[in-house]
Amino acid sequence: MELVYMTAHELHRMLSAREISAEELCRAALDRIEKLDGRLGAFITVTGDLALDQARAVDRRIASGEEIPPLAGIPVAVKDVICTEGIPTTCGSRILSGFVPPYSATVIEKILARGMVMVGKTNMDEFAMGSSTENSGFFPASNPWDTDRVPGGSSGGSAVAVAAGQAVVALGSDTGGSIRQPASMCGVVGMKPTYGAVSRYGLVAYASSLDQIGPISRDVADCALVLNAISGHDPLDSTSAPGDRPDYTGFLNREIKGIKIGVPGEYMGEGIDPGVREVIGGALKVLSSLGAEIEEVSLPHSKYAIPAYYLIATAEASSNLARYDGVSYGYRVEDPKDVVDMYSRTRSRGFGTEVKRRIMLGTYALSAGYYDAYYLKALKVRTLIKQDFDRAFEKFDVLICPASPTTAFRKGEKMDDPLQMYLSDITTISVNLAGIPGISVPAGFSGGLPVGMQIMGRPFAEGTLLQVAHAFERSTDHHKKFPEL
Ligand code: GLN
């Protein structure tokens, strides 16, 4: 098999046995970026020289006889919403052009401490607002399975990089589905950890009460390895959960006999493409043959999730994005008449259409007289959604549904209809509202395009998600299929 399509745990063995060098592996990824990225648009910045330096440092450790840790020398791509010291971080927005962070996010410090090799910063919907990566302020990304189609979003570039062998693993961020939905559409694994499991320090904020960083990988074992690397308490993030995290690889290779799986009826009916439903139905049969007990469950407040999310997320965004005023970061218009003119023209030009739509929605929802009617009501709905999950988890270990209602749609198809675009998050956003973990794993194909199965669990039950996902993966070979490029 081509080097670039191997997993981190396979490559770790080869690196340790000196069958390949980290430099060779890094060059294979960089060659792949060079060869394909004109078509795929996965990267905003490629950090080739830096990556080669990092790879050579790992080779020196191997040469000195050191036993390297699992992810050392593994090429990783990082969503451009995560701050990297000395390396431009744009959030997919023109308003941050020219911004070079003076510090790195905690997750970056953590992956570099493990000897990972960062090949570049990936394309995304501007400020993570979108479901297709078409809202990138620079260029859209393409789905490697069909380049006329979107890769999903907002972490589209990270999912594409992993699916196309431009990196072995990647980091994304997920506020309403932005890791799981593109992972599903690109045929890779993507996990949104429990809110607070992974530090948000250095993650540029979209909606602070929903945002989480998580892994994108080619298989479940790699997901566990990356989660091991990035999770943990961080005193620099006040919302970071205290306490130790388990070794997530300890949940792999376990049986799932007797595990109770609930299937929310609300996420298998109307609005879900019949081809997607069929694939998920087939996947549930596999899980049942492994001894899982499967039953339907109801999450009755699901129908309010989209409106609640688009009030809460936009409200938080309107205040988070107030800081881009042309003074402290990035872009500023030339020759402003006065300060108001500078603010207004910088923001009008620097932000794209969708971001402006959301700032206006959020500002409106928070304004005096509307706060109670919209924002406060949305918060109450959020609690009801959380209680739906609490009730379901009294009976079930995990819940399963599609990670996306459709397979990858055509470019341009939903760009003129924001509501249709928002509906592509119908099965993922409740997980963020409830703060629980969710993972998407390749479950099969519909019309030649990948379908992801989402597994959701109790807060901090990432281990259980990995256990079920890995049991499924061991019985199937969907994760071993690669796009022809
Ligand atoms: N598509 C959703 C949105 O536009 C979710 C994005 C995300 O998770 N960052 O808000």
Q: Which domain holds residue 96?
A: 3-255
Q: Is 79 a catalytic residue?
A: yes
Sheet with 449-457, edge to edge strand ranges: 43-46, 117-122, 75-79, 169-174, 212-217, 189-192, 438-446, 449-457, 398-402, 260-264, 293-297
Q: Is residue 39 part of a domain?
A: yes
Q: How far from chain centre, in Å, is Cα 313?
A: 16
Q: Is residue 225 part of a domain?
A: yes
Whether 129 lines ligand 1, by a CB cut-off of 6 Å, is yes
Q: Which of 400, 408, 411, 467 is nearest to 440 (CA)?
A: 400
Nearest CA to ligand 1 atom 5: 176
Whole-number CA gyration radius for the chain: 21
Q: Is residue 147 part of a domain?
A: yes
pLDDT at 307 over 90: yes
pLDDT by residue (tens digit) across 189-239?
A: 999 999 999 999 999 999 999 999 999 999 999 999 999 999 999 999 999
Q: How far is CA 376 from CA 27, 370, 373, 428, in A?
A: 52, 9, 7, 22
Q: What is the pLDDT of residue 2?
A: 82
From ligand 1's centre to the CA of 323, what distance in Å? Answer: 20
In this prediction, residues 84-93 reach a mean pLDDT of 98
What is the distance between the alpha carbons of residues 157 and 169, in angstroms, rounded to a whole number?
A: 12
Q: What is the pLDDT of residue 346?
A: 96
In this prediction, residues 7-16 reach a mean pLDDT of 98
In this prediction, residues 387-395 reach a mean pLDDT of 98
In this prediction, residues 118-139 reach a mean pLDDT of 98
Tokens of 235: 């005193």
Q: Is residue 178 part of a domain?
A: yes
In this prediction, residues 231-257 reach a mean pLDDT of 98
Q: Is residue 431 part of a domain?
A: no
pLDDT band at 453 (very low <50, low <70, confident <90, very high): very high
Whether 130 lines ligand 1, by a CB cut-off of 6 Å, is yes
What is the distance between the alpha carbons of residues 434 and 211, in angstroms, rounded to a whole number?
A: 12
The atom of ligand 1 lying closest to the CA of 178 is 8
- Residues found in the chain: 485
Whether 249 lines ligand 1, by a CB cut-off of 6 Å, is no
Q: Is residue 12 part of a domain?
A: yes
Tokens of 345: 């023209």
User: CB within 8 A of 221, min separation 6: which ones?
Assistant: 7, 9, 249, 252, 470
Q: Are strands 438-446 and 398-402 parallel, antiparallel or unpaired?
A: unpaired
pLDDT band at 91 (very low <50, low <70, confident <90, very high): very high
From ligand 1's centre to the CA of 211, what distance in Å? Answer: 9
* Ordered DSSP codes for 244-258: PPP-GGGGTT---TT
Q: Are 321 and 207 in contact (CB under 8 A)?
A: no
pLDDT by residue (tens digit) across 103-128?
A: 999 999 999 999 999 999 999 999 99
Q: Is 475 a catalytic residue?
A: no
From ligand 1's centre to the CA of 129, what distance in Å? Answer: 5
Q: Is 199 a catalytic residue?
A: no
Q: Please tell me which residue in 79, 110, 121, 414 is annotated as part of the active site.
A: 79
Whether 92 lines ligand 1, by a CB cut-off of 6 Å, is no
pLDDT by residue (tens digit) across 392-419?
A: 999 999 999 999 999 999 999 999 999 8
Q: Is residue 391 part of a domain?
A: no
Query: Measured at the alpha carbon of residue 217, what is the angle toward residues 287 and 134, in degrees to the nearest 5?
Result: 110
Q: What is the pLDDT of residue 329?
A: 87
Total domains present in the chain:
1
Q: Which of 170, 202, 207 is nearest to 101 (CA)?
A: 202
From ligand 1's centre to the CA of 207, what distance in Å? Answer: 9
Q: Detail the DSSP E strand segments found in 55-123.
A: 75-79, 117-122
Q: Is residue 398 part of a domain?
A: no
Q: What is the pLDDT of residue 108?
A: 98
Q: Which amino acid is it at 13?
A: R
**How much of the chain exceeds pLDDT 70, in percent?**
100
CATH number at residue 204: 3.90.1300.10
Find residue 178's DSSP bridge partners: none
Q: Please tell me which residue in 93, 142, 154, 199 is annotated as part of the active site.
A: 154
From ligand 1's centre to the CA of 257, what distance in Å? Answer: 35
pTM of the model: 0.98
Whether 143 lines ligand 1, by a CB cut-off of 6 Å, is no
Q: Please state whether the peptide bond connecting residue 154 to the residue before it is cis, i.e. omega within 30 degrees of 0.
A: yes
Q: Which of 399, 204, 202, 216 is nearest to 299 (CA)?
A: 399
Virtual CA dihedral for 434, 269, 297, 426, nearest 10 degrees? 0
Whether 207 lines ligand 1, by a CB cut-off of 6 Å, is no
Q: Are strands 117-122 and 449-457 parallel, antiparallel or unpaired?
A: unpaired
From ligand 1's centre to the CA of 355, what distance in Å? Answer: 11
Whether 41 lines ligand 1, by a CB cut-off of 6 Å, is no
Whether 313 lines ligand 1, by a CB cut-off of 6 Å, is yes
pLDDT band at 4 (very low <50, low <70, confident <90, very high): confident
pLDDT at 18 over 80: yes
